[in-house]
């Protein structure tokens, strides 16, 4: 439903009207015409998948689309329809169990969604109707209703702001739940609206609903006393979005323009695409192999049956004459029925219960991440969060990590470091610091005691105080107790005359802006706030200056700058502009650029974020022209953004450059150690950022992604323009040059190794910017684009680290998708903390959100969320490694134990005339996978630590041993299959050898066929359970309980099942068979002997196989680094690794 609506809204329906007309308060603008309210959708939100009526059919349909479930359904139907040797219960019961457990899980998850929807839809809201305030449920709001919202409430739908309790007709809003930004945003009321909303007669004409959170185009017609209606433009600054929260404003009134599933929040709801792990793909491949084995077994038995029956006297022996109906049956139909019967008899080779065990293992295993105390962050008082438990094992298979820079590698905690005015450097020094420069009282100077003129200094500081959208948070009792603002606070010293004995906090949409305003305060210029379009600043001489704010030319990522137009008390009109150097330099006088450029480049190299500041005096004619252009552009409904940018670009020309600022964003705690550990684990790290190249490059050096000996290959707009030729030609030339250097001339690298720590070979780092990436991905010709992309990918894959700067959010996702779909389909992981990282988080195989300062959008769209970047190391190298090893062993073990189970059944057909006689009782067939052997492997797959976590964290190279799905390749699969065949042959022929002596009981009686099957089954259950016990390295009381408890339960069940006459059974095959069997010493001897013989090769392999491999020599250092008292399970070589792969000969 949502997709259909999105298609319609995004242009899929050509008949759609481009705009909608809304009557404020449902009052018609015309008194003569009848008012027919237009129809819009109601305000109900629906995020659930099922209803009570469609849950059963829809859920069953989805479950039976899974190949294993569908296969078992067919087998069950065959058992019901055809006369098969086993009861339909044997396959129906496990299938019913699987379907029921999955349905309960999915039903519970959908019930939670229903519950959340109910809370939202039934939330009480206040609506103005005919001058009265009426409380309604949120779902009953209609388009056109005037709604009241109080402080700290969320907006129930998309509203146009009509009235605010604040004197300056603004309100503050946080949109963390929408775009991830937790800072306050300022919204404005529509100018010239009536104070008495009851008498307001107006219509709103606006665009149809569309999902872009930052775009809104509309206009309001205000009708007054038969006059010509006043027209006011509406933009995103007037629109309050559903899901946003009102802050620092007592209450507001707004008119509903979009409701329910047409709100921008609902249109942005993106159900996560189903991510599937590599393990699931391996399971499907192994399943096909076992299906082929099953079909071939059934074909062999069917063929041999009819070959055997063709012998004289075998088809119809004297003791088993055919009925007339059997004689009349078509031969080919009989052969097909026999084939189906054999399929049913052998179908237990396909482990249906494995899917349930895997689901439970993933679900329960995810709690270990949530419970890990190392992931708890005392600052935010939160730990890790698991949104998707299906990808636990994928954490152990990551080959590429794509990380954001700001807020992920860095703290997103901005601090003003220095500024440059007219080429002179100014550094602020605290009283107790040893930095160059003097404190504010003595006047700011540079290292050589030179400074710009006082007039230029003050002009620069005025620009910092005026060119921003920062608001001053008024003090409250809570603020005075806490001392800081909720978002970005700054405590003003009480000695200052403004504000007297008060504490003020700053509210801004960006931490950079607060840092710059704080920086101006250090040099004596204090921003006092904005009141009724008047900005107040306190100068060094303690004078209060007032400026009328005429226009704000908002920041956008394309222009990469923002401006304000203000008028001073003296009547001068000034434009102040700040932005990136690449955006400001072309718009100022070029002779001024050289004085500043050197400082900007030096600051960027040191890792600081830089902004340039410029100004311009506007004449009366220039301002009148700009004012008219801005008003006209803001009133247009079509192409408003393009028209505004055109006016902005016309105004922001011919400016004078005053100076530049440097703001530091510090590295995250242990960022360098984390990146180094990931590279040691064979993971390639790519940094994708919207920041400028110099700043990002210095961050990469600080994080040790680039080393001092790393040769950097740069593919940016700057290098493309160096050659003096067309960009396209230069791009092709550079790509070929870098390909030759990094790929063709480079020595072959061993798989999984990304950095040659001691080597003579050269390490390469690659740098590309957004503009060049667009050329690579979207070349003019399709053949060139494909060729460029291949060259680019090959170069990047041979570099130790890649830096992509000036990236748009969509480009981040494009890069992840390109690597994800490259040769070998490497497993990718994206990590970020902001709304701009959501696209790459959703695109990667595994998405990780950081609970940072940019809201929770990344966290909500991620698969896993962690408080800090440093936690990624343990998440991958310890948790990921263990999850993968556990589930890989689980999958291989399930196939192995089912092959052991069914092979004796297949062999038995050669000795019973291919008569489809079951070897095992129906109860054993049903209970084998559900009860007797399920719990030990589940406990193993949750608790096993073949190498303890401390060692895994100390030795990141161990992560390489399981790379590229090493434990689920065809080699280990073949090993487990051959082991299953060996055990199956041993069980069957070992017991047959016992039966070569006819008298096995003291009284001379012989055992029957059910005794034969029961002895085989007893050996089977004990062997596969003890095999798992041998593989267990980390014993807990739970392991002991389930392993020995399962064996005890089998013994108890067998006595119980055969020791009582059950009234509901027509025939009781095992009546006293088990007890009778255990009365024979020979049976006891054979059971013990066969179990020992089965496990003997495994025991000998562990004892006599000498360790070899790249980590054998690390035995002593590793033990000493962790401590001498290693437990046996930690210090012993993991059996899993021995039995799974020769490459994994790791000694700890």
Indicate the burial class of 969 (C-beta count within 10 angstroms; 0-12, 13-18, 19 or more): middle
Q: Residue 712 to residues 584, 716, 789: CA-CA distances in angstroms?
A: 27, 12, 19
Contact 562, 554 (CB under 8 A): yes
Calculate the alpha carbon distances from 198 to 137, 234, 250 in Å.
22, 21, 20
Quick check: 895 and 286 in contact, CB under 8 A? yes
Question: Cα(386)–Cα(373) distance, rounded to whole angstroms?
Answer: 14
- Ramachandran area for residue 173 (φ above 0: left; ψ -120 to 50: alpha; else beta): beta
Q: Could you give the CA distance from residue 545 to residue 534 in angstroms, rounded to a whole number?
A: 10
Q: How far apart are the first and last CA of the chain?
A: 55
Q: 678 by DSSP, 3-state: which?
A: helix
CA 592 to chain centre: 46
How much is the CA Rg of the chain, to the nearest whole Å? Answer: 37
Q: Which tokens go with 299? A: 């074909």
| 313 Ramachandran zone, left/alpha/beta (phi>0; psi -120 to 50) | left
| Residue 963, both tokens | 């790379």
Q: Please give the Cα distance from 588 to 591 (Å, whole number).
A: 9
Distance CA 637, CA 1096 (A): 82
Given a contact cutoff of 8 angstroms between Cβ atoms, the answer to whether 655 and 588 are in contact is: yes
Longest dimension (CA), the chain: 124
**Euclidean distance between CA atoms 1114 and 818, whole angstroms:** 38
Q: Residue 654 has what DSSP assignment?
A: S
218: tokens are: 């509309």
**CA dist list (Å): 569 to 498, 534, 549, 574:** 20, 11, 12, 12
Q: Is 473 in contact with 504 (CB distance < 8 Å)?
A: yes
d(CA 1134, CA 1148): 8
Structure tokens at 994: 């016992």
The SS3 assignment for 1069 reads coil
Q: Which of 145, 179, 404, 691 is catalytic?
A: 404
Q: Which DSSP state fits 21?
A: E
Annotated catalytic, 961? no
Calculate the alpha carbon distances from 835 to 158, 178, 502, 807, 960 in Å: 20, 8, 35, 14, 32
Could you give the CA distance from residue 562 to residue 559 in angstroms, rounded to a whole number? 8
Catalytic positions, written as ranges: 404
């Amino acid at each position: 439903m949502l997709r259909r609506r999105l298609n319609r809204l995004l242009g899929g329906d050509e008949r759609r009207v481009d705009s909608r007309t809304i009557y404020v308060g449902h009052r018609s603008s015309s008194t003569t015409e009848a008012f027919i309210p237009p129809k819009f959708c109601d305000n109900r939100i629906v995020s659930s998948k099922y209803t009570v009526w469609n849950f059963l059919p829809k859920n069953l349909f989805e479950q039976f689309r899974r190949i294993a479930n569908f296969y078992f359904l067919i087998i069950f139907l065959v058992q019901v329809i055809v006369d098969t040797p086993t009861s339909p219960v044997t396959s129906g019961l496990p299938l019913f169990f699987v379907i029921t457990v999955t349905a309960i899980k999915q039903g519970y998850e959908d019930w939670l969604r229903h519950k959340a929807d109910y809370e939202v839809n039934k939330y009480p809201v206040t609506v103005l109707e005919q001058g009265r305030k009426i409380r309604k449920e949120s779902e009953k709001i209609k388009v056109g209703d005037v709604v009241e919202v109080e402080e700290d409430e969320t907006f129930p739908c998309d509203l146009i702001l009509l009235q605010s309790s604040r004197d300056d007709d603004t309100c503050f809003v946080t949109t963390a739940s929408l775009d991830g930004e937790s800072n306050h945003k300022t919204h404005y009321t529509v100018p010239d609206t009536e104070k008495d909303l009851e008498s307001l007669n107006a219509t709103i004409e606006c665009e149809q609903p569309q999902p872009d959170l930052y775009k809104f185009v509309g206009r309001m017609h205000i009708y007054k006393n038969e006059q010509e209606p006043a027209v006011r433009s509406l933009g995103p600054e007037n629109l309050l979005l559903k899901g946003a929260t009102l802050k620092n404003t007592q209450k507001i009134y707004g008119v509903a323009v979009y409701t329910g599933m047409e709100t921008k929040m609902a249109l942005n709801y993106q159900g996560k695409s189903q991510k599937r792990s590599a393990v699931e793909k391996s399971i499907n491949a192994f399943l096909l192999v076992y299906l082929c084995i099953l079909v071939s077994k059934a074909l062999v038995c069917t063929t041999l049956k009819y070959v055997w029956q063709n012998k004289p006297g075998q088809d119809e022996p004297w003791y088993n004459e055919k009925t007339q109906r059997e004689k009349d049956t078509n031969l080919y139909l009989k052969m097909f029925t026999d084939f189906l019967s054999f399929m049913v008899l052998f179908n237990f080779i396909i482990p249906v219960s494995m899917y349930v065990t895997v689901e439970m293992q993933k679900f329960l295993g995810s709690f270990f991440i949530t419970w890990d105390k190392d992931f708890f962050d005392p600052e935010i008082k939160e730990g890790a969060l698991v949104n998707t438990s299906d990808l636990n094992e994928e954490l152990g298979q990551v080959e590429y990590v794509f990380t954001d820079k700001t807020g992920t590698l860095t703290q997103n905690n901005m601090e003003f470091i220095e500024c440059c005015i007219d080429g002179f450097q100014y550094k602020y020094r605290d009283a107790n610091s040893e930095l160059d420069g003097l404190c504010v009282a003595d006047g700011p100077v540079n290292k050589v005691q030179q400074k710009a003129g006082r007039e230029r200094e003050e002009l620069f500081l005025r620009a910092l105080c005026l060119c921003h959208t920062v608001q001053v948070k008024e003090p409250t009792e809570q603020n005075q107790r806490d001392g800081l603002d909720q978002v970005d606070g700054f405590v003003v010293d009480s000695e200052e005359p403004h504000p007297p004995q008060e504490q003020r906090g700053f509210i801004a949409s960006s931490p950079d802006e607060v840092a710059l305003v704080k920086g101006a305060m250090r040099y004596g210029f204090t921003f006092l706030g904005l009141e009724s379009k008047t900005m107040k600043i306190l100068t060094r001489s303690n004078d209060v200056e007032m400026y009328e704010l005429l226009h704000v030319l908002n920041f956008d990522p394309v222009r990469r700058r923002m401006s304000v137009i203000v008028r001073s008390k003296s009547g001068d009109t000034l434009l102040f502009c700040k932005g990136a150097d690449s955006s400001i330099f072309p718009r100022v006088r070029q002779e001024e650029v050289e004085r500043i450029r050197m400082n900007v480049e030096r600051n960027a190299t040191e890792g600081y974020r830089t902004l340039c500041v410029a100004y311009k005096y506007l004449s009366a004619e220039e301002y009148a022209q700009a004012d008219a252009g801005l008003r006209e552009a803001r009133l247009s409904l079509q192409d408003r953004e393009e028209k505004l940018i055109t006016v902005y670009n016309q105004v922001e020309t011919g400016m004078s450059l005053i100076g530049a600022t440097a703001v530091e964003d510090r590295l995250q705690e242990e960022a360098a150690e984390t990146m180094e550990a990931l590279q040691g684990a064979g993971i390639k790290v790519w940094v994708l950022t919207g920041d400028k190249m110099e700043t990002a490059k210095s961050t990469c050096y600080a994080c040790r992604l680039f080393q001092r000996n790393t040769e950097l290959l740069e593919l940016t707009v700057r290098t493309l323009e160096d050659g003096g030729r067309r960009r396209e030609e230069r791009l092709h030339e550079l790509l070929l040059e870098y390909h030759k250097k990094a790929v063709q001339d480079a020595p072959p690298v061993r798989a999984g190794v990304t950095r040659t720590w001691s080597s003579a070979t050269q390490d390469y780092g690659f740098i590309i910017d957004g503009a060049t990436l667009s050329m690579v991905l979207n070349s003019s010709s399709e053949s060139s684009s494909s060729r460029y992309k291949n060259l680019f990918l090959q170069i990047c894959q041979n570099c130790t680290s890649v830096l992509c700067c000036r990236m748009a959010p969509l480009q981040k996702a494009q890069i992840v998708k390109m690597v994800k779909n490259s040769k070998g389909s490497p497993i990718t992981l994206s990590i970020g903390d902001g709304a701009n990282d959501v696209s790459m988080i959703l695109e990667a195989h595994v998405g990780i959100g950081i609970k940072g300062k940019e809201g929770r959008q990344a966290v909500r769209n991620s698969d896993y969320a962690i408080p800090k970047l440093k936690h990624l190391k343990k998440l991958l190298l310890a948790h990921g490694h263990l999850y993968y090893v556990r589930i890989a062993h689980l999958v291989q073990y399930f196939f192995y134990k089912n092959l052991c189970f069914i092979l004796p059944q297949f062999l038995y057909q050669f000795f019973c005339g291919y008569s489809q006689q079951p070897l095992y009782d129906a109860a054993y067939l049903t209970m084998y996978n559900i009860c007797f052997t399920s719990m030990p492997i589940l406990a193993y797959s949750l608790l096993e630590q073949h190498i303890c976590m401390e060692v895994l964290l100390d030795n990141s190279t161990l992560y390489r041993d399981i790379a590229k799905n090493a434990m689920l390749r065809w080699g280990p699969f073949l090993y487990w299959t051959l082991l299953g065949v060996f055990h199956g042959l041993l069980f069957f022929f070992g017991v047959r050898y016992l039966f070569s002596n006819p008298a096995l009981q003291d009284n001379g009686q012989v055992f029957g066929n059910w005794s034969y099957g029961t002895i085989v089954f007893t050996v089977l259950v004990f062997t596969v359970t003890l095999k798992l016990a041998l593989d267990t390295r980390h014993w807990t009381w739970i392991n002991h309980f389930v392993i020995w408890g399962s064996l005890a339960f089998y013994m108890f069940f067998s006595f119980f099942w055969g020791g009582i006459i059950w009234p509901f059974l027509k025939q009781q095959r095992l009546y006293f068979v088990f007890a009778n069997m255990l009365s024979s010493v020979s049976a006891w001897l054979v059971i013990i002997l066969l179990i020992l013989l089965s496990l003997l090769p495994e025991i000998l392999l562990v004892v006599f196989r000498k360790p070899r491999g790249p980590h054998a020599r690390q035995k002593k250092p590793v033990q000493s680094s962790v401590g001498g008292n290693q437990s046996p399970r930690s210090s012993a070589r993991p059996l899993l690794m021995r039995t799974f792969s020769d490459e994994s000969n790791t000694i700890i």
